[in-house]
Homo-oligomer: A and B are copies of this chain.
Amino acid sequence: MSNKPTIHISEVGPRDGLQSVKATMPTADKCCWISALAVAGLREIEVGSFVPAHVLPQMADVAEVVRHAITLPGLTVMALVPNRRGAQAALAAGVHKLTLPVSASEAHSLANVRKAREQMVAELRDVIALRNERAPGVPVEVGLSTAFGCTLQGAVTEDDVIRLALACVQAGVDEVGLSDTTGMANPAQVKRLFTRLRAELGARAGAAHMHNTRGLGLANCLAAFDVGVRSFDSSLGGLGGCPYAPGASGNVVTEDLVFMFEAMGVSTGVDMSKLISAREPLNAGLPGEPVYGMTPEAGLPKGWVQAPLSV
């Protein structure tokens, strides 16, 4: 029996991060960065989106990136797919896991994917049918975006979020996580909504994908942890997300998230020093792009030790 970490971190930088910046990271740099993330101990990485290259030119080389990533031992290689066509290409490239974005807010759904929420659930059903036929061992997860509020419609009701999560489960999805796309979540809401999600979905309740737009990213992750969530999405250097303003990063910073849990004695399986080293290929591949993270700037505290793995 091998020891395993308590916390599962899904690194979203190579997808969520790279598709949010204007520059395109060269393929070789992407591969080098993903390798460094895996070496640091990250066991799941969202390596790209299977979308048409004219929509997201930064993702044009996604199949090549996947073919590199699947050679890395012990790594779950995930890709975002918006529909069946994307899923076909992703499965052909050899991904281990698919993720689809479904918006909890109708307004955001129409703006983001030009489809109503129910239409996205229908897409999901198509993708799952394809998966069942071609690659039954590949899990499909959904991240419910704008689950904590929407910049277009304002509040999103918790009933709407849970109803949509259940619709995704009925469509056959393996896991439904909740995303604070707009940085509007607060810890009380996070505790309420994840408690309800876990009660309704059981083992199919998925990850917390928090943003740091208003500085609450780690507090919201802590709140999710306190009600039993053990899977978190984050991005090295806080790359990506929806930055509203200079300095206001979007995604929770992987380095700070790992630091928080490890300092608490809760193991992530990620080595802090190697994780900080994984910023080098990111910087090299995206010269001049701002990269965030308080822990890398401050350095590790005197007497720092990693948390022991649980047996």
What chain B residues lie within 8 Å of A247 (beta carbons)?
247, 292, 294, 297
- Chain A residues 263-310 with CB under 8 Å of chain B are 263-266, 292-295, 297-299, 301-303
B-side contacts of A40, CB under 8 Å: none
The yes or no answer to A166 lying at the interface (CB within 8 A) is no
Q: In the assembled complex, which residues on chain B have CB atoms less than 8 Å from the CB atom of A301? A: 149, 151, 154, 182-184, 214
Task: Give the docked Cα–Cα distance between A182 and B263 (Å).
Answer: 14
Q: How long is the Cα–Cα vector from A303 to B259 in the complex, in angstroms? A: 33
Find the residue from A153, A245, A246, A301 having the highest chain B CB count within 10 A: A301
Query: Is A189 on the interface with B (CB-CB < 8 A)?
Result: yes
User: Which listed residue (B216, B223, B294, B302) contacts A214, Cβ 8 A?
Assistant: B294
Q: Is the interface of A mostly helix, strand, loop or mixed?
A: loop
Set of chain B residues within 8 Å of A299, measured between Cβ atoms: 244
Report Cα–Cα, A298/B248, bound state, in Å: 7
Complex CA distance for A293 and B248, rounded to whole angstroms: 9
Any chain B CB within 8 A of the CB of A260? yes
Closest Cβ of chain B to A300, distance in Å, is 9
In whole angstroms, what is the CA distance A150 to B222 when docked?
24
Are A216 and B149 neighbours in the complex by a CB distance under 8 Å? no
| Least distance between A237 CB and chain B CB atoms (Å) | 12
Q: How many residues of A contact B (CB 8 A)?
A: 48
Q: In the assembled complex, how far is the CB of residue A125 from the closest CB belonging to chain B, in whole angstroms? A: 32
Beta-carbon contact of B218 and A183 below 8 Å: no
Contact residues of A between 245 and 266, Cβ < 8 Å to B: 245-248, 253, 256, 259-260, 263-266
Contact with B along A227-254 (1 / 0, CB 8 A): 0000000000000000011111000010
Across the interface, which residues of B come within 8 angstroms of A215, CB to CB? 218, 253, 256, 259-260, 293-295
Q: A219 within 8 Å of B by Cβ?
A: yes
**A154 and B298 contacting across the interface, CB-CB below 8 Å:** no
Is A86 an interface residue, CB under 8 A from the partner?
Answer: no
Q: Shortest CB–CB separation between residue A243 and chain B, in angstroms?
A: 9
A188-B259 Cα distance, complex, nearest whole Å? 13
CB-CB < 8 A to A303: which residues of B?
149, 154-155
Contact of A212 with B by CB under 8 A? yes
Which residue of B is nearest A265, CB measured? Answer: B188
Query: 10 tightest A-B contacts by CB?
Result: A154-B303, A215-B294, A186-B263, A188-B264, A245-B297, A215-B256, A218-B219, A154-B302, A244-B298, A248-B297
Would you mind naming 24 contact pairs between A and B with Cβ atoms under 8 Å apart? A149-B303, A184-B301, A186-B263, A213-B294, A213-B298, A214-B259, A214-B294, A215-B253, A215-B259, A215-B293, A215-B294, A216-B218, A216-B259, A216-B260, A216-B263, A219-B221, A222-B222, A226-B226, A245-B297, A247-B292, A247-B297, A248-B294, A248-B297, A248-B298
